[in-house]
A and B are shown apart, each in its own frame.
Chain A
Amino acid sequence: MRSTADVVVIGAGVIGAATGYYLAKRGLKVLVLERDFPCSGSTGRCIGGIRAQFSHDLTIRVMMESVRMFRGLSDELGEDVEWYSGGYLFLAFDEKRKQAFSDAIAIQMRYGLDVRFVLPDECEKIAPGLDPTGLIGGAYCPTDGQANPFKVTYGYLEGIKRMGGGLVAGCEVKQVNRVGDKVVSVTDAKGHDYACNMVLNAAGCWADEVGAMAGVKVPVTADRHESLVTEAVERVFNPMLVDYRSDGCYFVQHSGTGHFIGCYTPVPLVPGHDVEVTEEFITEMPRRMVRLVPKLAGVKVLRQWAGSYEMSPDGNPLCGETSVRGFYVSSGMSGHGFMFGPALGRLMAEQMVDGRASIPLDEFFLSRSFGKAEAMK
């Protein structure tokens, strides 16, 4: 059996869905092939945070564009994606962290981001109930926010279908076929061929495996991150709180429902694709949350789960054409794939159609040499 498309997208997470949507908007016939079902990978495990507070110039620019696009996304997709501009408050408990935030703020302000360093009393006003013990201030950007990863991804996929493209769920790509140095088709586990001019590897933390099918090395590794959600409560505060201490955490209250949802980055990291949950997390995470906001002590936890961050060597995305002509990659989002989705999706579509994106993505190209790591991971 054989199908044809202009572009085959491998993976129906937010990256494949968004990029596929903007490719379809450029008039291409897009087929998204998904091993399980949409959002079965990291996208369905994500906590929905969106921010432009980063330290890397290109990341700041792309995220500012993403925030702009998120604001109009419900209209664009005809689906309420639950965008809510509650801001992000990064907390500093020592001078070194304060300095790092101030350095990042200086870069962010160059691009016109509405961001500032705030003192502990203002932190308490922004996040009522925050215990200021040990706090020396925070980096606050009110235009950061949150949205619903499921709604965003399904909205993009439905858009692709409306524009004449398609989604094939339960379709595991097993081979990426080329003639000479040019990609020509992919083959799935059932032996079905999909002929196409371009292939986008949007396989998230499995992008290394999909890359290897065409002989391309994609340096993505999976890191386990656990998460929990509480019952819904009255509105406590608006921003995502980020505590970067080694025993810190980050959490946000869902704007519509009132659930609190959050995670932390384990020390040391837990490499691999295993998404089992641990007792350590479900006792540590509550301790860290209640330490920051004592009045949450009575709020009940409904569920814990885990997912993978698809990490790149420097914490920035791995994008662009590979050494195989027509074979593109967009992965390595290092914990920020949801918020990258809209802007990076559109920019990658430009890259693939025009050979150049309106915000040049060179510093995210797979072929770059890996230097300084992102400071606001």
Chain B
Amino acid sequence: MRRVIRMGYHSLEAVKRVLRTGMGHCQGRGCLRLIARLIQEETGIPASEQKLPRPRPPLKPLPLGLLGAFEDEERSSKDQVRING
């Protein structure tokens, strides 16, 4: 991350476009503050003045079947794929 910031990517949005930071399971809720601090250390731009990437739904990860309101229990329960650890 420090290498990318030193390449000239000086905002959370710009770093996100290179490294996909904040695009995983926590959706940035945990990690973005830490990344803002790294940017502050490397560039001097105070973390409190850095613009956060636009939050996007869902607030927490939700299953496709639930969002798509599948009522057919059998269809959505049998033979499901395994989640990567």
- Give the interface of A toward B (CB within 8 A): 36-40, 44, 129, 150, 154, 169, 229-234, 236, 257-258, 277, 279, 282-291, 294-305
| Separation of A39 and B70 alpha carbons in the complex (Å) | 36
Main secondary structure of the interface of B (DSSP, over half): loop
Q: Which of B11, B77, B83 contacts A37 (CB 8 A)?
A: B11
Contacts of A236 in B (CB 8 A): 81
Chain A CB within 8 A of B3 CB: no
Q: Which of B23, B79, B84 contacts A258 (CB 8 A)?
A: B84
| Separation of A172 and B85 alpha carbons in the complex (Å) | 43
Question: From B75, which residue of chain A is reached at the shortest CB distance?
Answer: A294
Question: From B7, which residue of chain A is reached at the shortest CB distance?
Answer: A158
Q: Is the CB–CB distance between B76 and A290 below 8 Å?
A: yes
| Separation of A288 and B75 alpha carbons in the complex (Å) | 14
Question: From B67, which residue of chain A is reached at the shortest CB distance?
Answer: A286
B2 to A: closest C-beta gap in Å: 17
Chain A CB within 8 A of B50 CB: no
Q: Is the CB–CB distance between B17 and A150 below 8 Å?
A: yes
Q: Is the CB–CB distance between B76 and A298 below 8 Å?
A: yes
Q: Is the CB–CB distance between B18 and A150 below 8 Å?
A: yes
- With contacts A233-B82, A283-B69, A287-B68 taken as known, whether A40 is within 8 angstroms of B23 at the C-beta atoms is no
Q: Which of B13, B57, B80 contacts A298 (CB 8 A)?
A: B80
Which of A279, A285, A296 is the most central at the interface, judged by chain B CB atoms within 10 Å of its CB? A296
Chain A CB within 8 A of B38 CB: no
Question: From B65, which residue of chain A is reached at the shortest CB distance?
Answer: A297
Task: Map CB proximity to A onto B1-38 as digits: 1 under 8 Å, 0 otherwise.
Answer: 00000001101011001101001110100000000000
Main secondary structure of the interface of A (DSSP, over half): mixed
Question: From A287, which residue of chain B is reached at the shortest CB distance?
Answer: B68
Chain A CB within 8 A of B58 CB: yes
| Separation of A44 and B20 alpha carbons in the complex (Å) | 10
| Separation of A299 and B76 alpha carbons in the complex (Å) | 10
| Separation of A129 and B20 alpha carbons in the complex (Å) | 29
| Separation of A41 and B14 alpha carbons in the complex (Å) | 12
B66 to A: closest C-beta gap in Å: 8
Q: Which of A37, A284, A289, A291 contacts B14 (CB 8 A)?
A: A37
Q: Is the CB–CB distance between B25 and A231 below 8 Å?
A: yes
Q: Is the CB–CB distance between A231 and B61 below 8 Å?
A: yes
A181 to B: closest C-beta gap in Å: 37
Which of A283, A287, A303 is the most central at the interface, judged by chain B CB atoms within 10 Å of its CB? A303
Contacts of B67 in A (CB 8 A): 282-283, 286-287, 301
Question: From B55, which residue of chain A is reached at the shortest CB distance?
Answer: A303
Q: Which of B23, B65, B77, B82 contacts A234 (CB 8 A)?
A: B82
Contacts of A296 in B (CB 8 A): 64-65, 81
Question: From A275, which residue of chain B is reached at the shortest CB distance?
Answer: B54
Other 13 A-B pairs with CB < 8 A, given A150-B20, A234-B83: A150-B17, A230-B64, A286-B65, A289-B68, A294-B76, A297-B63, A297-B77, A298-B64, A301-B64, A301-B67, A302-B25, A303-B57, A305-B56
| Separation of A67 and B31 alpha carbons in the complex (Å) | 36
Which of B8, B9, B61 is the most central at the interface, judged by chain A CB atoms within 10 Å of its CB? B61
- With contacts A282-B57, A290-B65 taken as known, whether A302 is within 8 angstroms of B24 at the C-beta atoms is yes
| Separation of A154 and B7 alpha carbons in the complex (Å) | 11
- With contacts A232-B83, A297-B76, A304-B56 taken as known, whether A37 is within 8 angstroms of B17 at the C-beta atoms is yes
8 CB-based A-B contacts, threshold 8 Å: A37-B17, A40-B13, A233-B81, A282-B67, A286-B67, A294-B75, A297-B64, A303-B23
| Separation of A257 and B25 alpha carbons in the complex (Å) | 13
Q: Is the CB–CB distance between B68 and A290 below 8 Å?
A: yes
Closest 5 pairs (CB-CB, A-B): A297-B65, A287-B68, A297-B76, A286-B68, A300-B61
Contacts of B23 in A (CB 8 A): 229, 302-303
Question: From B80, which residue of chain A is reached at the shortest CB distance?
Answer: A298
Q: Which of B9, B25, B83 contacts A299 (CB 8 A)?
A: B83
- With contacts A39-B17, A295-B81, A302-B27 taken as known, whether A282 is within 8 angstroms of B63 at the C-beta atoms is no
Q: Is the CB–CB distance between A297 and B83 below 8 Å?
A: no
| Separation of A294 and B14 alpha carbons in the complex (Å) | 37
Q: Which of A38, A277, A279, A300 contacts B64 (CB 8 A)?
A: A300
Question: From A288, which residue of chain B is reached at the shortest CB distance?
Answer: B68
